[in-house]
C-alpha cells in the first residue's frame, strides 16, 4: 500500500530528501526508508525553517513519530504508517482552519489561547517548529496517479470506511477499494 501512495521514495538519504523538498511549500512531505538501525521509515517534511526528517518508530505493532523517552507514553500510536500520516495531515488541516498553523508548537484557538500540545521538530540550531503535513511530494514528479487510484482516494474521502459496505458495488471493485483504504 505504501508504494502505491506515490509519496514513498524508498532508499533515500536525509540529504537527498532535503534536496527533493527544497523550495517546496511548508507542509510538503515524503516517506523514505530510514538509515537508522531500529527504524524502518523516516518522514521528511518542509517546516518554516526548511526541510527536516523525523524517524518513525515501530513498537508492539504500532507506528509513532520518534519522541524523547519521557514523552513516548503520551505520543499517539497507529496501526499503520498511513493512519499516522492521515492523523497528522488531519491535525494540520484543523490547525490551518483554526488559524494556528505555525508558531510556537502549541495548538492555538482563534483567540490565541493554547489548545493542547502538538508534535514539534527541533532543528540543528535549537529552534522548535511544528510539524505540518499538508501535501505529499510524489516520487515521480509530473506523473499523476492512475485514474483508478485517484478515484479510489476520492471515494475514500467522500465515504467513511464503515459506510463502504453499504455501497452497491461488485465484489472486485469493493476488493480494489479495500486494498488501499487511505485518503492520501
Is 59 part of a structural domain of the chain? yes
User: Number of folded domains in the chain?
Assistant: 2
What domain range includes position 162? 147-178
Best CA proximity match to 53, nearest among 6, 25, 20, 89: 20
Residues 128 and 151 in one domain: no
Task: For residue 121, list its beta bridge partners.
Answer: 129
Residues of the chain with pLDDT under 50: 70, 114, 116-117
Q: What is the pLDDT of residue 117?
A: 47
CATH for 30: 3.30.505.10
Is 163 part of a structural domain of the chain? yes
Is 141 part of a structural domain of the chain? no
d(CA 22, CA 28): 10
Q: What is the pLDDT of residue 29?
A: 94
Q: What is the pLDDT of residue 70?
A: 47
Amino acid at each position: 500500500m505504501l508504494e502505491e501512495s506515490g509519496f514513498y521514495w524508498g532508499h533515500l538519504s536525509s540529504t537527498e530528501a532535503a534536496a527533493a523538498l527544497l523550495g517546496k511549500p511548508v507542509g510538503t512531505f515524503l516517506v523514505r526508508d530510514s538509515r537508522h538501525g531500529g527504524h524502518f521509515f523516516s518522514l521528511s517534511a518542509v517546516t518554516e525553517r526548511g526541510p527536516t526528517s523525523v524517524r518513525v518508530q515501530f513498537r508492539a505493532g504500532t507506528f509513532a513519530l520518534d519522541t524523547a523517552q519521557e514523552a513516548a507514553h503520551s505520543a499517539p500510536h497507529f496501526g499503520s504508517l498511513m493512519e499516522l500520516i492521515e492523523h497528522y495531515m488531519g491535525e494540520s488541516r484543523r490547525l490551518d482552519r483554526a488559524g494556528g498553523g505555525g508558531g510556537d508548537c502549541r495548538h492555538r484557538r482563534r483567540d490565541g489561547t493554547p489548545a493542547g500540545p502538538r508534535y514539534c521538530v527541533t532543528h540543528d540550531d535549537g529552534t522548535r517548529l511544528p510539524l505540518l503535513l499538508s501535501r505529499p511530494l510524489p516520487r515521480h514528479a509530473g506523473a499523476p496517479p492512475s485514474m483508478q487510484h485517484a478515484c479510489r482516494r476520492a471515494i475514500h474521502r467522500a465515504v467513511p470506511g464503515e459506510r463502504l459496505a453499504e455501497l452497491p458495488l461488485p465484489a472486485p471493485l469493493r476488493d480494489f477499494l479495500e486494498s488501499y483504504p487511505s485518503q492520501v
